[in-house]
């Protein structure tokens, strides 16, 4: 059974770039690697509904913290069997966003910290009730909120159809989310975490050596 490695961070933190670098580094070590990214826009109806809500196309659904959390959780529940198959066939599966993103963003929306109700509720829903695979290790790509926001703005300006959604455009929400992410990492929530400095070039080879053990 392969290792499930999750990459978390704010919108614009550089998760996709780190994922690509790690894939190359792990493959250079001879590892069989696969990837997955959540939300699975274009592949899952729950993710599509969540995206519509984030752009204000589903009335007041986007205002419901628990309603949005359930949609994102159902996306992962739908993917769980395929994820288990990926893990059975590969040494490492890298996932861009996972359960911790649901915990961090929704705790931030409710102005709760890591000990708040919604963090425990997300864990109970996704891990205990839906039974999705538990990560072996989680990476937090930490960047200052201003840096992440500027990257997200540039991406929106250069990528047609990728305008910033309600979460991405809320700078205060992003700042609170970063604080919850860091608290989750400090608490080793669900698994061990490694916090990386997203403003400096990571050493994918060294990180790959650590994660492939």
Using one digit for the tens of pLDDT, what is the confidence trace for 138-176?
999 987 766 655 655 665 555 655 577 878 888 899 999
Domain 3-211, classified CATH 3.50.50.60, yes or no: no
Give per-residue pLDDT as tens, 178-197: 999 999 999 999 999 999 98
Query: 10 Å Cβ neighbour count for 1?
Result: 11
The pLDDT value given to residue 11:
86
32-52 average pLDDT score = 96
CB 187 within 8 A of CB 147: no
- Find, among 134, 139, 127, the residue nearest to 182 by Cα: 139
Q: Is 196 helix (H, G, I), strand (E, B) or coil?
A: strand
- Residue ranges of domains in the chain: 3-211
Run of H or E residues at 94: strand 92-96
The span from the CA of 70 to the CA of 88, in Å, is 27
192-202 b/e (C-beta count within 10 Å ≥ 16 → b): ebebbebeeeb
- Find, among 86, 126, 92, the residue nearest to 211 by Cα: 92
48-58 average pLDDT score = 95
% of the chain beyond a pLDDT of 70: 88
CB 76 within 8 A of CB 98: yes
The span from the CA of 125 to the CA of 119, in Å, is 10
Reported residue count of the chain is 213
The pTM of the full predicted model, rounded to 2 decimals, is 0.88
Q: Which of the pair, 18 or 187, is modelled with greater confidence?
A: 187
């Amino acid at each position: 059974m392969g290792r499930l490695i999750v990459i978390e961070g704010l919108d614009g933190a550089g998760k996709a770039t780190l994922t690509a670098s790690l894939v190359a580094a792990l493959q250079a070590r001879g590892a069989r690697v696969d990837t997955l990214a959540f939300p699975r826009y274009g592949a899952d109806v729950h993710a599509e509904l969540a995206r519509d809500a984030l752009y204000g196309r589903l009335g007041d659904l986007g205002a419901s913290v628990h309603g949005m959390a359930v949609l994102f959780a159902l996306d992962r529940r739908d993917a769980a069997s395929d994820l288990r198959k990926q893990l059975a066939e590969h040494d490492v599966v890298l996932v861009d966003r996972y359960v911790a993103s649901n915990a961090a963003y929704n705790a931030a929306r409710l102005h709760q910290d890591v000990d708040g109700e919604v963090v425990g509720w997300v864990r109970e829903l996704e891990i205990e009730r839906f039974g999705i695979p538990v990560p072996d290790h989680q990476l937090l790509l930490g960047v200052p909120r201003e840096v992440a926001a500027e990257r997200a703005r540039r991406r929106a300006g250069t990528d047609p159809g990728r305008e910033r959604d309600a979460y991405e455009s809320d700078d205060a929400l992003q700042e609170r989310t970063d604080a919850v992410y860091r608290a989750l990492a400090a608490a080793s929530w669900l698994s061990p975490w490694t916090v990386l400095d997203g403003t400096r070039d990571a050493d994918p080879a060294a990180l790959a050596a650590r994660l492939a053990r």
